[in-house]
Amino acid sequence: MVSKNQVLDQITKARGGDYSKRNFQQSFELILKLKDIDVKKTDLNINEVVFLPNKLSAQAKVCVFATGDNALRAQRAGADRVIENAELDRLASEKRTAKKLAREYQFFLADTSMMPKIGRVLGPYLGPKGRMPTPVPPNAPLESMLNRYRTAVRIKSRGSLSVAGKVGDESLNDGNVADNAMAVISQVEKKLPNGERNIQSLTLKKTMGKLVKAKVEEE
């Protein structure tokens, strides 16, 4: 079982083990190594959106596909980009721009009415990255959805038996990074056949720092 105190200890080591001066703010990445899972029988294609309890200094960029009133609401709410039907039609013949779009934004929201067209036009670029839009039904609280996704991170499988994702940056104190890490661990456990028993070790590192690995002790 992973405890918060264990995570805090790894964060302290990761933060203290890097004495080099950097010209940018480093992130903290969490890597969970898994065990006792037969990948031939269990699909471990984990691609989870986790809403962190503590915001990162660089918030996620969110693009919204919308028309009419929803497009205006998204613009007023400060969406990083709003794409309406006419622009989506143009993207069908602009493959390079479509590929760039898929790389540039971490999350996508879309009017439910636009989802079929988005699948046809952008599915080949968003699908492989696991970034197909979250549908926004009519009269949904778009503003609050945007605010939530700005605090989110994507946790993905790395290879056959590990999962990784960002849980903080140097602007957060150790307790806040630990809370974010525990939120990620809790969500990953729900996707594993035997929950916490399938986690062998956790690794925490800063962007340019050394790996700090800790074995998870069984109860």
Q: Which residue has the tokens 């986690």?
A: 199
The pLDDT assigned to 45 comes to 82
CA distance linking residue 197 with residue 216, whole number of Å:
9
In the chain, count H helices and then E strands: 7, 10
- CB-based contacts of 118, cutoff 8 Å, min separation 6: 65, 88, 110, 126, 132, 133
DSSP 14-76: HHHT--S--SSPPEEEEEEEE-S--TTTS----EEEEE-SS--SSPPPEEEE--HHHHHHHHH
Residue 207 has pLDDT above 90, yes or no: no
CA distance linking residue 172 with residue 175, whole number of Å:
8
210-219 residue pLDDT tens: 766 666 655 4
> Taking Cα atoms as reference points, which of 59, 62, 124, 117 lies closest to residue 90?
117
Mean pLDDT of 88-104: 95
Mean pLDDT of 138-167: 90
The pLDDT assigned to 64 comes to 97
> Taking Cα atoms as reference points, which of 202, 127, 131, 132 lies closest to residue 163?
202
Q: Which residue has the tokens 């839009």?
A: 133
pLDDT top residue among 68 and 18: 68
Which domains are seen in the chain, by residue range? 4-57+152-215 (3.30.190.20), 62-149 (3.40.50.790)
Using DSSP's 3-state secondary structure scheme, residue 204 falls into: strand
Residue 72's pLDDT band (cuts 50, 70, 90): very high
The CB density around residue 103, as the number of other CB atoms within 10 Å, is 10
4-61 residue pLDDT tens: 888 998 888 888 765 566 677 889 999 999 999 887 777 778 889 999 999 998 899 9
The pair of three-digit structure tokens given for residue 75, joined into one six-digit string: 């613009």
The pLDDT assigned to 134 comes to 95
- CB-based contacts of 156, cutoff 8 Å, min separation 6: 46, 47, 48, 130, 163, 164, 165
The pLDDT assigned to 213 comes to 64
The pLDDT assigned to 21 comes to 65
The pLDDT assigned to 6 comes to 87
